[in-house]
Amino acid sequence: MPPRELTQAVDTLAQLDAVTVREDLRQKEDGRKWILKVQLRLTDPPADTQVPRETDWYVLIEDTYPWGSIEIHPSKENSITATFPHQRRNHPGSEEEPWRNGNICVSQYGHILGRSGAITEPRDPDERLRWHLERAVAWLETAANGNLQQPGDPYEVPEFDTRAAPNRTLAFNETYDSFEDWQSVSGSWGTVELRQLAEPTGTLATGEFRDLDDHVIHQPEWGDYIKDNTEDVFHGAWILLDSTPFEPPWEAPETWRELENVLEDAPIELYELLGKVSSTVTEEDIQILLIGFPIPEEIGDPDALIRWQAVKLPSLKQPAEHAGGFRNTERNREILARVDLVNKEIQWLDSENWAHEQLARRGSLSKPLSETKVLLIGTGALGSTLAECLVRGGVQELTLVDGETFEIGNLARHTLTLPDVGEEKATALAERLQSLTPHASVEAITEDFPPTDESRDAVASSEIVIDCTGSNAVLGALRRFPWKQPTLFTSASMGRRGNRLFVYSAYDTAFPHNRFREALEPWLLQERLEWSHGEDAVPERVGCWHPASVIRMDRVTTWAGTISRYLDQTTDLGHGQSKLTVLETQAEGEVPLVSEAEPPFQDSIEWASADSSITVRIPAGRLAAVKDLCAEAKEVETGGILAGTYFSGGEALVVRATDPPSDSTHGPTTFHRGTEQVDEWLQAANERLGIQYLGEWHYHPAAPPEASDDDYDEMVSIATNESYHCPDPILVIIGGSPPDDLSVNVYVFHREGDFEELHRANPEDEPEDSQ
């Protein structure tokens, strides 16, 4: 039996005129999802649309409802068969199931599917399923009218069918700068070097692109990993289009005949391209075709990037191998390529942009740090962990200096692993760091600082130098070393038990060792006093005593992450400036001391119901801002919308109150709140802050803050309009004469048609600045 919450949710679908339940709920065999068949009806679809007036759909609901996913798939019978924007590839899917795979996206793109009021997905069991189906109807109506893509939407590429070539991936490297380079390319096709990587298995990385005259026109810039892990190099073909090769409404071609149709306006005919390129590469080489096209970042924006989509070609016979035999001419190769391919399905390859600016969008460091040549001295516990933070954060050019060997005892507090035992630390760490990104170039210098003459030039040209050795000898050598330019120096070390982090930075022509010691000496004395009676090291081995610090890896990672953030803040130091930062927590072995944050919105003013648990809280600063708007309005009414969030138990918190929209009308005794940019504002507030529409605020100049008949009618209309998704809208009325004689009343209206006037809770607690 379906759970009661789900059956009640299905019952609420009767409220939607455009939705009819066709079959009762049934459970999938694996028990993880419930299946509901529905029919969706459009009011007045265009005559030329691919969307029928009535379509059948299957709703797949996780058994954790009201939590978990809700998917809406077209039925295999009496539904849409095309693929539209904001939809998975709409292919028939499994033979055992009656639905297609074209799940539609209704939980995003609120400014397209939203109506007046909030667009936040509800979590109430009685509302969530109905919300999804209501938006499915809106999605279908928008699809029928061809309006699913709107300016400002993130640009998306249709889903390509890669099932026929599941173990191949193309990694290309296209940036905003390379897009400009491609704009000046006169040719439209040629050959491309493809590097087959040892890992990830089946991955091909693009190398040199050559035109029809065999001139190099584009060379992607890769890091050491691509260069050092290339198993084989062969050639494929490329063609660059002026527009996207998609079939309407929004799907990738699935056969060579379909691809030929969408390439009608291409700079060169498809089979002519294959005939020409096959004369310059061997049959085995021409197994991959790259189809390139320009794309924007957002709908409506100019094109900004080149997107490559790879195709795996079937084996093409040489002309002489065809029945009857043919001369090996370009024209014959073109004709025979058409014969071989025209009725075959395309084997698309997964194709991904591995450009640095695309991969580094998650948690990247600032450009002054990531695009600078960095030297890291010391690859022990702190140094190795910091190096990983830097490379994962986007640092592309890093040199490591360390003359030590990785030992078994280092495993407890290092990023290297068992296979690295006995290897030189710098070399092993460089190899590991190169595997973190296709763009890092990491050089290892396997000697102590300062290096010998052979490596001095590479070190001297560094722009940022980080010391993680904790060695006074190294710091002295930093002062004496002949740097080629002013350099940003940073020395980072932990206290004897890891409870402190010392970070000293200076921008100068040499490391200011004397200033560093003066700044650090009081702290070193404090460290000696604190640990003079305690053990801060343990013997690592039996026999001769080998001291080893007791600092744990969790503390090392905490401080390494802190240093990487700190480095981002020190790149603006002026010449000759220096700074010491000391961060402190509790001693090793104890839970780190974390101060308790003050609960937010403690200055809120609260209104409560005398008959229910409903409360409304408004921060004093927000209420003061609304009163300022009332003062600006002077003798005419004004108002705006309220946004915030509901907590459990009927508590509402208002965190935003808007100015009156620009198309509002104001009068001495009337105000009509406009709608200009309201939906857009609500969408942005929901996506960035997670808040939703809560109600309205009005100002009654020189009058009591009491709801008028017009106010009552407006709020009842909002409460009963389900498109607002706000069954209990709030009305805040400010009345009186600004600035000092203003008072506030708060009302809550209900979908059933009644309302409550709330009263101030603890009025003596109101801050003075809110009066």
pLDDT tens per residue, range 508-553: 999 999 999 988 887 887 777 676 555 555 555 554 444 456 688 9
For residues 76 and 56, what is the distance between their CA atoms, to the nearest angstrom?
8
Based on the fold, state whether residues 203 and 227 are members of the same structural domain: yes
> Residue 364's pLDDT band (boundaries 50, 70, 90)?
confident
53 Cβ contact list (under 8 Å, min separation 6): 41, 42, 45
* Share above pLDDT 70 across residues of the chain, in percent, rounded to a whole number: 89
**pLDDT at residue 115, as a whole number:** 40
Answer with the one of 358, 377, 410 that is the final residue of a domain.
358
Flag whether pLDDT at 192 surpasses 60.
yes
For 154-221, give the secondary structure using H, E and C. ECCCCCCCCCCCCCCEEEECCCHHHHHHHHCCCCCEEEEEEEEECCCCCEEEEEEEEECCCCEEECCC
Question: Which of these ranges, 74-88, 115-129, 285-299, 631-645, has the smallest mean pLDDT?
Answer: 115-129
Partners of residue 657 on adjacent β-strands: 642
Say whether pLDDT at 709 is over 70: yes
Q: State the pTM of this model.
A: 0.78
The answer to which of 203-212, 311-320, 457-466, 690-699 has the lowest mean pLDDT is 311-320
Question: What tens digit of pLDDT does each residue of 130-139 get?
Answer: 999 999 999 9
The 10s digit of each residue's pLDDT in 633-688 is 999 999 999 998 887 778 898 989 999 999 999 999 999 999 898 888 888 887 77
Question: Which domain range does residue 260 map to?
Answer: 169-358
| CATH code, domain with 55 | 3.10.110
Provide the 3-class DSSP secondary structure of residue 14. helix
What is the arithmetic mean of pLDDT over 104-108?
A: 83
CA distance 319 to 336: 7
Per-residue model confidence as pLDDT tens digits over 710-734: 999 999 999 988 778 788 899 999 9
What's the pLDDT at 325?
67
Of residues 336 and 91, the one with the higher pLDDT is 91
- Residue 754 · residue 614 · CB < 8 Å: no
Kindly state whether residues 310 and 375 are assigned to the same domain. no
In a domain, 8, yes or no: yes
Cα–Cα distance measured from residue 115 to residue 446, given in angstroms and rounded to the nearest whole number: 64
* Local confidence band at 589 (pLDDT 50, 70, 90 cut-offs): low
pLDDT at 283: 53
143 against 365, higher pLDDT: 143
Shared-domain flag, residues 354 and 433 = no
The pLDDT value recorded for residue 70 is 95
DSSP annotation of 151 reads: T
Judge whether 163 lies within some domain. no
- The residues that bridge with 285 in the sheet, in sequence order, are none
Query: Does an H or E element contain 236, and which?
Result: strand 230-240
Rg (alpha carbons) of the chain, rounded to whole number: 34
- CATH at residue 454: 3.40.50.720
- 3-state DSSP assignment of residue 644: strand
The predicted model gives 219-235 an average pLDDT of 93
766 assigned to some structural domain: yes
Q: Quick one: pLDDT at residue 552?
A: 84
What's the burial of 164, exposed, middle or buried (CB within 10 Å: 0-12/13-18/19+)? middle
Rounded CA separation 103/72 (Å)? 5
Please tell me the predicted confidence (pLDDT) of residue 212.
83
SS3 392: helix
CA–CA separation, 658 and 696 (whole Å):
9
Whether 238 and 332 share a structural domain: yes
162 occurs within a structural domain: no
* Predicted local distance difference test score (pLDDT) of residue 587: 56
Residue 686 carries which side chain, given as an amino acid letter?
N
> Rounded to whole angstroms, how far apart are CA atoms 202 and 766?
66
- pLDDT at residue 535, as a whole number: 55
Residues 110 and 227 in one domain: no
Residue 24 lies in a domain: yes
Residue 346 belongs to some domain of the structure = yes
The verdict on 350 and 395 lying in the same domain is no
In whole angstroms, give the CA distance from residue 336 to residue 62: 51
CA proximity to 235, closest of 291, 185, 191, 290: 191
Contact 118, 641 (CB under 8 A): no
Q: State the CB neighbour count (10 A cutoff) for residue 22.
A: 13
How does strand 604-608 pair with strand 759-761?
A: antiparallel
The neighbour count for residue 24, using CB atoms within 10 Å, is 11
Q: How many domains in the chain? A: 4
CATH of the domain at 746: 3.40.140.10
Mean pLDDT of the chain: 87
- Structure confidence at residue 203 (pLDDT): 95
**In terms of residues, how long is the chain?**
771
CA distance 246 to 29: 37
**DSSP codes, 107-131:** SS-HHHH--SS--PPP--HHHHHHH
Is 150 part of any domain? Answer: no
pLDDT of residue 723: 76
Q: Are residues 566 and 421 in the same domain?
A: yes
- Is 426 found in the same domain as 339? no
Give the DSSP letter string of 695-751: EEEEEEETS-S---HHHHHHHHHHHH-GGG--SS-EEEEEEEETTTEEEEEEEEE-T
- pLDDT of 123 > 70? The answer is yes
pLDDT at 156 over 80: yes
Whether 273 and 349 map to the same domain: the answer is yes
pLDDT 10s digits, 599-610? 678 888 999 998
Q: What is the CATH number of the domain that holds 333?
A: 3.40.140
Cα-Cα end-to-end distance for the chain = 57
Residue where one domain finishes, among candidates 358, 390, 418: 358
Per-residue confidence (pLDDT) for residue 546, from 0 to 100: 46
Please state at what angle helix 381-392 crosses helix 553-570, rounded to 10 degrees.
50
Establish if 671 belongs to a structural domain: yes
For the segment 226-237, the average pLDDT, to the nearest whole number, is 92
Q: Which residues are catalytic?
A: 637
419 shares a domain with 399: yes
pLDDT of residue 323: 63
Tell me: pLDDT of 395 over 60: yes
Average pLDDT over residues 761-769: 58
Residues 557 and 625 in one domain: no
Tell me how far CA of residue 639 lies from CA of 554, 630, 670, 700, in angstroms.
53, 8, 10, 9
Average pLDDT in the 295-308 region? 95
Residues 105 and 216 in one domain: no
Q: Return the pLDDT at 173.
A: 97
Residue 527: what pLDDT? 79
- Is-contact 225 271, C-beta < 8 A? no
Min mean pLDDT across 88-92, 374-378, 520-524, 579-583 is at 520-524
Neighbouring C-alpha atoms within 13 Å toward the C-beta of 581:
15
